[in-house]
Amino acid sequence: MLKGYAKVEGVYGNTDNQEIRSLFPRKKVLKAGKFLIGVVHGDGKNKTTEKRVLDEFEDKPDIIVFGHSHIPYLRFDQGTLLFNPGSATDKRKQPYYSFGILEIEDEIKSKHVFYSNKNE
């Protein structure tokens, strides 16, 4: 559906069906201006989600966007911005639904938007 509005980039996650897995890779790297953006779901075992997503990329991108936990997350790790937008549809134990905005020009600007009713 989203492809009717704009170009769609994405990766599959641990609960996606075979149809989604056939359309998207497990991880990818995108270029936005001078910045590289790693995208990965972040599921796995034996490490924190943050450690798993960092270990996915041998050459560390400027930003890693990930999900899996549905927990909004924004912090730098050795020069790489780790960004989890949270979830606009399934907040789980979080107090609010959320999504993320990345503005990429000469620098990276990132923020979360939080709201309490997903039907608003």
By the 8 A CB rule, do 21 and 43 touch? Answer: no
Looking at residue 120, its pLDDT comes to 63
Stated pTM of the model: 0.91
pLDDT digit string (tens) for 56-102? 999 999 999 999 999 999 999 999 999 999 999 999 999 999 999 99
52 Cβ contact list (under 8 Å, min separation 6): 42, 43, 44
Q: How many of the other CB atoms lie within 10 Å of CB of 108?
A: 16
Confidence of residue 2 (pLDDT cuts 50, 70, 90): confident
Q: Is 54 exposed, middle or buried (0-12, 13-18, 19+ CB in 10 A)?
A: buried
> Which pLDDT tens digit goes with each residue over 13-28?
999 999 999 999 999 9
Q: Residue 116 in contact with residue 97, Cβ under 8 Å? A: yes
